[in-house]
Amino acid sequence: MDKQLIHATLSPDIADLIDDIQLFDEIDSTNLEALRQIKAGKSGTKLLVADAQSAGRGRRDRPWVSPAGSGLYMSLSRALQSDTDAIQCLSLVTALSVLHAVESLGASDLQLKWPNDVLVGNQKLAGILLELHTSKAENHLVFGIGLNLSLSEEDRERIDRPVTDLESILGGPDKGPDGSIVVAEIVNQLLRNVLLFEQQGFAPFCKTWNAYDRYLNHDIVIQAGNTRTIGRSLGVDENAALILQSAAGRELIAGGEIFPSLSEPGENSD
């Protein structure tokens, strides 16, 4: 990664919002480091990017395979300007931001899986992990993003689900942009969208999210702890809740994980 290239690719209005850009050859987790700095009293908007992580994490504490050269591992930490209940909405906003950033670099056929995975078909390209730190003085939110850039066969075998990478989507190793440019484009999209969310809530994003929703109007299973709910996904509402038409009627789902129903042809894996 190249700090100067990241800064040069940031839009001037976005660059003005960032207090610090930190690059690491290897770290346990950019999210963990961001949280450590917040707990140490280092406030401000900071961008942390690592070439490799030894303890990368995804949602539900799943490990995120993070070897050097295979992916983009970044965290953006920022004071939370809205209620802590907004994290669910901001998780979706972050995924949509990553999708639009990758599209701007030439990728196509991207979709979203509620609440925050970026997919190509059934293959995962990127994942999001938002983590909140609360204090009496100020609440901070860490936006953690992992994006597959160039996975080896060994990397793919270590990941417990179908995955793809930016190199494959764009047509080969010579087609993709420098990772520093990818970082900057994600930050450009993310901070613009966060500012819009702070002003108007999730409503401006609802229609766009549903247009990219991989499982819109599909039969799905929602797993939340030990509870499984089966129904048809009707997309998200203006509060980022998933609308599920089940045997019990229309329900709003605030948390959980989507699995395709076995009744969906060709859909039998996460």
CATH classification code of 3-210? 3.30.930.10
CATH number among 3.40.50.970, 3.40.50.720, 3.20.80.10, 2.30.30.100, domain 218-260? 2.30.30.100
pLDDT for 62 equals 66
User: For the chain, what are the domain ranges?
Assistant: 3-210, 218-260
pLDDT for 49 equals 96
pLDDT for 267 equals 45
Please report how the helices 203-212 and 179-200 are oriented relative to each other, as an axis angle in degrees rounded to 10.
130
Tens-level pLDDT at each residue, the chain (270 residues): 899 999 999 999 999 999 999 999 999 999 999 999 999 998 899 999 999 888 676 665 566 566 667 889 999 999 988 888 889 999 999 999 999 999 999 999 999 999 999 999 889 999 999 999 988 888 999 999 999 998 888 878 777 788 999 999 988 766 668 889 999 999 999 999 999 999 999 999 999 999 999 999 999 999 888 888 899 999 999 999 999 998 889 999 988 889 887 654 444 333
**Alpha-carbon gap, residue 49 to 249, rounded angstroms:** 44
